[in-house]
Amino acid sequence: MAVVGTTSAHAATIVEKYNVTDFAGPPGGHGLYMNDDKYYFDPGAMFTVSDDGAGNLTGELTGTARDADGGFDVFLTFNDFRDWDAQTGAGLGAKGASNGDETTWTFMDLIPVSTLTGIGDQAGNDYDLIMKPQNGIYTFQYGVGANDKQKNVLGMSGWFYTAGDGLEGTGSPCANTTTSGDGGSVCDFNLQLEAVPLPAGAWLLLTGIGAIGAARRFRKA
């Protein structure tokens, strides 16, 4: 899957790159938890951030023993990367802050082009994703301790709804069951990240635009 978009004016350059694995692996962990079903990332899953302000999580998920032949292709897209000051300045917070120093984490928004596409026994079960809770205080996040499961481990997490019939996923596996937008079924990603070294050219680009902080902390929500 492509993880870097291009335009006629500028080819986006990856400035952060991470290998993705489940937070603890089977049988106790998971990469995706969706209404009591656990799914695990196959090798090759990747999270990237580009200098154009976009991020992508891509990979393939397979299920637990009771759904071993089914899973999903994952394509998540993020924007509005921000630091702790910008997160709290927007009235937002951190999920699982007891697992690390949330003031060092990076926060971002899941945008509606994000999808889960069913494969194997899940073929035909395709979902558009909506960040959850839309009107609550949590967004997606990554950093040391940020996967909401493990202390002092580089990770990533975030809750979501699956869009379906009606507002915010009514009738789908991860429906919003409240009118306020801060409740609903339990569906989230809990990931471990492993930083991948970047080519020297990427770091030279970062220096030219004001270091890595300028590349991923763009504006207050």
DSSP 114-164: -EEEEEETTTT--EEEEEESTTSS--EEEEETTTSSSTT-EEEEEEEEE-B
Q: Is the pLDDT of residue 182 over 70?
A: no
Q: Where residue 63 falls among pLDDT bands split at 50, 70, 90? A: confident
> What integer pLDDT is reported at residue 29 of this predicted model?
87
What pLDDT was estimated at residue 11?
80
- Quick count: other Cβ atoms within 10 Å of Cβ 169? 25
Encode burial over 193-204: b for 16+ CB neighbours within 10 A, e otherwise: beeeeeeeebee
pLDDT score recorded for residue 164: 61
- CA 147, CA 18: separation in Å to the nearest integer? 14
Confidence (pLDDT) at 199: 83
Q: Could you tell me what percent of the chain has a pLDDT over 70?
A: 73
d(CA 169, CA 69): 25
Does pLDDT of 205 surpass 70? no
Report the distance separating Cα 133 and Cα 184, nearest Å.
Answer: 8
Question: Which of 20, 21, 23 minimizes the C-alpha distance to 190?
Answer: 23
Q: What is the pLDDT of residue 170?
A: 53
Strands (E), the chain: 14-22, 32-34, 37-41, 46-50, 55-63, 70-82, 106-110, 115-120, 127-132, 140-144, 154-162, 187-195
What's the alpha-carbon Rg for the chain, to the nearest Å? 17
pTM listed for this prediction: 0.80
What pLDDT is recorded for position 196? 96
How high is the pLDDT of residue 183? 59
- 62 or 172, greater pLDDT: 62
Q: What would the pLDDT profile of 113-163 be if each residue is shown by its tens digit?
A: 899 998 888 888 888 888 887 667 899 999 999 998 999 899 999 998 887
Average pLDDT over residues 13-34: 87
Domain extents in the chain: 14-216
C-alpha 207/C-alpha 213 separation (Å) is 10
Mean pLDDT, the chain, rounded, equals: 81
Q: How far apart are CA 111 and CA 130, in angstroms?
A: 7
Predicted pLDDT of residue 125: 84
Answer yes or no: is pLDDT of 219 > 50: no
